Amino acid sequence: MDSADIFIVVAKIAVVLMILLTAAAMTILAERRLSAFIQDRLGPNRVGPQGLLQPLADLFKLIFKEELITARGDKVIFIIAPAIILIPAFLLFAVIPFGDSITIAGKQIALQIANLDFGLLYIFAIGSLGVYGIVLGAWASNNKYSLFGGLRASAQMISYELSLGLSVIGVIMVAGSLKLPDIVAQQHTMFFGIIPGWNIFFQPLAFILFVIAIFAETNRLPFDLAEAEQELVAGYHTEYSGMKFSLYLLAEYINLVIASALIATLFLGGWHLPWIENIPMPNWILQLLQVLSFSLKTIFFIITFIWVRWTLPRFKYNQLMALGWKVFLPLAIINAMVTAIVVAIIN
């Protein structure tokens, strides 16, 4: 790898980090505005035009807010726990392709930080580390409500990771690869010239299982039992304030953005732009439209996450666990078996 390649990788990392942080801030604003719309009230609309600078005001408020550290807990783990959940959230986007490639000064640059042969395994491996930040933060707080929230989060996330992983086995078998660009490329076919070959049409059960399991993995309503304000004050981050609390909040929304991007990649063709890609146009316009297509698909699922949160009531914990083990897990196994039989017959 020469100096130009190193510079390109560093530039892509910087751009992705900037986009992720901006997207997380805008998602927080969108959630506040959309929840207000659903509840027929006004959301934040005073700071900046249409309240667009509200995330910036929130940031300054959290920076200057007093930070409290529990006196009876483990102070070292209490301090580093928010970073343990935030760092994996940043690392996840490294393997997600947000476009095909661009050519600058005769050099082709893939719109992806790292194209790993084990891309999906990387996502599940790194994504599973986030639960440690929740459990350690809850335990280090020495607060029974925080501990209950941490235990709920660990049981919930481990349970639904099984269904999450099994639901994408069908996608892997159809694509024949763990590399996300290969999974996107496999969905570029068009059936009868009008129907995109997206996995949502060929793996509908896997899509439903994956999306619902993602709700549980990101601790979003109706599966936010790790917080459950009516029962646990604020759950695992009850004792956190100031910037440490904001790191937990930031990790939640970054995970939300990445989860939406992953759903779009695995089931909606990623940056695939059907019906338009075959129209003659300059290559740079096509590349821009492909990135825009990926962005719009991701935004659609972000809005869906927000809409569901402010529409459905919270599950009871026994319902949550029964759904994961007695319904989702058997359905995911059946979907994998049926897909394997169909792929074997076709091949």
Q: How far is residue 342's CA from residue 103's CA, in Å, rounded to a whole number? A: 39
Please state which of the ranges 12-16, 235-239, 243-247 shows the lowest mean pLDDT.
Answer: 235-239
Report phi then psi at 107, rounded to 5: -110, 125
Angle between the N-to-C axes of helices 204-217 and 144-167, in degrees from 0 to 180, rounded to the nearest 10 = 160
Residue with tokens 């309503």: 221
Confidence of residue 148 (pLDDT cuts 50, 70, 90): confident
Alpha carbons within 13 angstroms on the beta-carbon side of residue 217 total 28
Q: How far apart are CA 95 and CA 329, in angstroms?
A: 26
Q: What band does 312 get if pLDDT is binned at 50, 70 and 90?
A: confident
* 267's tokens: 């089931």
Average pLDDT score over residue span 131-144: 88
Q: Has residue 29 got a pLDDT over 80?
A: yes
Band of pLDDT at residue 230, cut at 50, 70 and 90: low
CB 173 within 8 A of CB 339: yes
**How many structural domains is the chain composed of?**
1
Say if residue 331's pLDDT is above 90: yes
Burial of 154 (0-12, 13-18, 19+ CB in 10 A): middle
Mean pLDDT in the chain? 88
- For 269-284, write each residue's pLDDT tens digit: 988 888 887 777 788 8
Span 50-69, pLDDT tens digits: 888 998 898 888 888 888 88
Instruction: Give the structural domain span for 203.
Output: 3-346
Instruction: Decide if pLDDT at 232 tops 80.
Output: no
* Residue 135, C-beta contacts closer than 8 angstroms, at least 6 positions apart: 150, 151, 153, 154, 236
Calculate the CA 299 to chain-centre distance. 11
Beta-carbon contacts of residue 281 (< 8 Å; ≥ 6 apart): none
Please state, for a pLDDT cut of 70, what percent of the chain lies above it: 98
Query: pLDDT tens digits, residue range 59-109?
Result: 888 888 888 888 788 889 999 999 888 898 889 988 999 888 887 777 788
191: helix, strand or coil: strand
pLDDT of residue 264: 94
Give bridge partners of residue 322 from the DSSP assignment. none
Residue 333 has pLDDT above 90, yes or no: yes
- Unique residue bearing structure tokens 């060929």: 202
For residue 7, count other CB atoms closer than 10 A to its CB.
10
ω into 204 cis (within 30 of 0): no
Exposed e or buried b per residue across 128-146, where buried means at least 16 C-beta atoms within 10 angstroms of its C-beta: bebbebbbbbbbbbebebb
**Local confidence band at 224 (pLDDT 50, 70, 90 cut-offs):** confident
